[in-house]
């Protein structure tokens, strides 16, 4: 008889699928860049539209959920969106103005280290020695994949890059600790809508948001970013995060750049060097080791859902 996977294994698979969806960010982003649209407009529309669609789905599926949603959860979601996802995104793209893209990506992917360190104190999550071995393998693989020109034009840009990793780590930790699973639909709606509004306001302050123009010339990348990289990716990640420790979700989330690398090869005709192939193999070995080590260790209770 077919046996369902354990909740822990389900969480791992959900986060892995989220990483695949997030991996399309580069593909749709490259399409939008060719159309010369503002990053803040693109990100703002991505989150705002995803939040609106999620709201519509939740209203159709469980219309009473919005009325019974605790006020505390609403303000938490608002903070995670406008003060978390939006700020983390702006930190990352601001760092690109003074850093090489390879260094900006590497600084962003310090977030599993922050989650591991802070999660020890905030969530009392402690990986085993076998599980910890997977971290240097995955990080070493990413280093080989993204190693290239290292350019730092200002200390501020470096701090913005490091800050993007730190803020994303905080987003994951607070989501794991406080965001209750039964309110996931409304929570994701508010997180994404508030992030979208915050980014569009930022764009307006920086010289004027061009929402209609962006939708006219880049409707296909906006649609892809909305449905695949926001609605699906963030939903799958949050569902997975409710089933596994935050540090483990962060480490499995490093499958995103692997997915992006292979998507770029298949859809954008990019060529990988032997160093990048080796990096991809190391990162995959780290994720495989994590899956094996987790299956041989008794799992702690999952977060409340």
Give the model confidence (pLDDT) of 217-244 as tens digits.
989 999 999 999 999 999 999 999 988 8
Nearest to 55 by CA among 148, 169, 174, 184: 184
pLDDT of residue 297: 53
pLDDT of residue 305: 38
From residue 107, give the alpha-carbon distance in Å to each of 86, 145, 168, 173, 277.
Answer: 18, 14, 11, 18, 21
Question: How far apart, in whole angstroms, are the C-alpha atoms of residue 167 and residue 95?
Answer: 14
pLDDT of residue 99: 85
pLDDT of residue 127: 79
Q: Where in the chain are the domains?
A: 20-295
SS (H, E, C) the chain: CCCCCCHHHHHHHHHHHHHHHHCCHHHHHHHHHHCCCCHHHHHHHHHHHHHHHHHHHHHHHCCHHHHHCCHHHHHHHHHHHHHHHHHHHHHHHHHCCCECHHHHHHHHCCHHHHHHHHHHHHCCCCCCHHHHHHHHHHHHHHHHHHCCCCCECCHHHHHHHHHHHHHHHHHHHHHHHHCCHHHHHHHHHHHHHHHHHHHHHHHHHCCCCCHHHHHHHCHHHHHHHHHHHHHHHHHHHHHHHCCCCHHHHHHHCCHHHHHHHHHHHHHCCCCCCHHHHHHHHHHHHHHHHHHHHHHCCCCCCCCCC
Q: Which residues contact 133 (CB under 8 A, 6 or more apart)?
A: 289, 293
Question: Which positions of the chain have pLDDT values less than 50?
Answer: 1-2, 300-305
pLDDT of residue 97: 83
Question: How far apart, in whole angstroms, are the C-alpha atoms of residue 168 and residue 84?
Answer: 7
pLDDT of residue 151: 81
pLDDT of residue 265: 84
CA within 13 Å, CB half, 195: 30
pLDDT of residue 52: 95
pLDDT of residue 295: 65
From residue 275, give the alpha-carbon distance in Å to each of 30, 144, 188, 235, 268.
Answer: 23, 6, 38, 33, 19
pLDDT of residue 47: 95
């Amino acid at each position: 008889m077919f046996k369902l996977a354990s909740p822990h294994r389900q969480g791992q698979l959900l986060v892995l699928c989220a990483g695949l969806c997030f991996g399309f960010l580069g593909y749709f982003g490259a399409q939008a860049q060719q159309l010369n649209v503002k990053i803040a407009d693109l990100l703002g529309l991505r989150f705002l539209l995803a939040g609106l669609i999620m709201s519509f789905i939740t209203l159709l599926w469980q219309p009473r959920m919005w009325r019974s949603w605790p006020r505390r959860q609403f303000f938490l979601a608002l903070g995670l969106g406008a003060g978390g996802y939006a700020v983390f995104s702006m930190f990352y793209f601001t760092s690109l103005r003074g850093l090489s893209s390879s260094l900006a990506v590497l600084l962003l992917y310090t977030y599993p280290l922050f989650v591991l360190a802070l999660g020890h104190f905030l969530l009392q999550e402690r990986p085993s020695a076998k599980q910890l071995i997977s971290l240097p393998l995955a990080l070493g693989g990413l280093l080989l994949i993204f190693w290239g020109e290292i350019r730092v034009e200002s200390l501020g840009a470096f701090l913005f890059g490091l800050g993007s990793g730190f803020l994303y780590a905080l987003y994951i930790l607070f989501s794991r600790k406080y965001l209750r699973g039964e309110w996931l639909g409304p929570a994701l709606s508010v997180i994404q809508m508030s992030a979208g509004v915050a980014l569009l306001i930022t764009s307006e302050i920086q010289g004027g948001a061009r929402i209609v123009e962006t939708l006219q010339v880049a409707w296909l990348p906006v649609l892809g970013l909305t449905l695949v990289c926001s609605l699906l990716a963030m939903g799958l990640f949050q569902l997975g995060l409710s089933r596994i420790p935050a540090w483990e979700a962060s480490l499995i989330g490093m499958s995103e750049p692997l997915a992006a690398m292979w998507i770029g090869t298949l859809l954008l005709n990019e060529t990988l060097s032997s160093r990048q192939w080796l990096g991809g193999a190391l990162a995959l070995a780290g994720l495989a080791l994590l899956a094996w080590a987790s299956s041989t260790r008794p799992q702690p209770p999952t977060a409340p859902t």
